[in-house]
Amino acid sequence: MIFRALALLFTLTAPALAQETIVSGLSQNRVSITADFDGSEILIYGAVKRDTPPPGGGRLEVIITVEGPSTPVTVRRKARVAGIWVNNAAVLVDSAPSFYAVATTGPLGHILSDTENLRHGITIERVIRAIGITAEAENSEDFVRALLRVRTDEDRYRVLEGKVELTEDTLFRTDVVLPANLTEGEYKVRLFLLRGKQVVAHQERLIGVRKEGLERFIFNLAHERPLIYGLISLVLAALAGWGASAAFRLVRA
């Protein structure tokens, strides 16, 4: 049904320049984080729009990236000193996405050149930007690799090679699962068409992620009224302790 609608849109759109462009869509452009939120699956689909036969220059490939809000991250290295583990070096990564997934029609090394990767910042390594790290620690690249390893193990960074389905060099789709521990903000979806390891077209879309209901109330209270939030937390903790104590005495009786 989705592909049929895209094909109709493709045929009704008036041709412009003699080049390949992208017509795309998302199964949803807004994700609500509620108390029982356990993740969400986003369908990203599209079609390649042409007004001439497919050009030469290699087989058509597609890369789709989904990037969460970026924040600075401090990566620390621990060392054992006198039998105690302590931090002995740190590196500040200026900007690292809270979530990043890259899905492709084939192996990244076979369909994307280093020059195009540098120009568009497609792979996870290119997205992460570090500033002034050599002044803080030696072998700073080891810290960046450690960050990549940790967030990959946490399923926040993903490389999904071969997960984009391409039909007749025109229709494509992929599914990206967003984890339960999402960071609130705008998630950037980028779509790239490639031939001969060169990007021939690209497009960007946005997915809004926002806390709703009780999650939104608690978040706003903690950030806008921290004193009230702290007092309520203390009262709830006291009531929970009293309730546990009363239940324990009742069981013993």
Express each pLDDT in 149-200 by its tens digit: 999 999 999 999 999 999 988 999 999 998 888 888 899 999 999 999 999 9
Same domain membership, residue 18 and residue 119: yes
Structure token digits, residue 43: 């369908």
Question: Could you write out the DSSP letters of every residue in 126-171?
Answer: HH-B--SGGGT-SSHHHHHHHHHHHHHHTTSEEEETT-SEEETTTE
Weakest-pLDDT range from 36-50, 67-81, 132-146: 132-146
Q: Which residues pair with 25 in a beta bridge?
A: 45
pLDDT tier at 107 (50, 70, 90 boundaries)? very high
Do residues 98 and 72 make contact, with C-beta atoms less than 8 angstroms apart? no
Give the count of domains, the chain.
2
Same domain membership, residue 113 and residue 20: yes
The residues near 238 (Cβ < 8 Å, ≥ 6 apart) are: none
Full-model pTM: 0.74
Same domain membership, residue 235 and residue 206: no
Do residues 182 and 33 make contact, with C-beta atoms less than 8 angstroms apart? yes
The CA-CA-CA angle for residues 74, 78, 81, to 5°, reads: 145
Which is more confident, 57 or 74? 74
The residues near 181 (Cβ < 8 Å, ≥ 6 apart) are: 156
Same domain membership, residue 123 and residue 248: no
Instruction: Tell me which residue range forms the domain holding 233.
Output: 213-253
Same domain membership, residue 52 and residue 128: yes
pLDDT tier at 218 (50, 70, 90 boundaries)? low
Q: Please provide the average confidence, as pLDDT, over all residues in the chain.
A: 80
Weakest-pLDDT range from 57-66, 76-85, 89-98: 76-85
- Residue 186's pLDDT is 93
Structure token digits, residue 118: 């540098």
CB atoms within 10 A of CB 104: 24
CA-to-CA dists, residue 224 to 200, 217, 230, angstroms: 46, 10, 12
Same domain membership, residue 49 and residue 26: yes
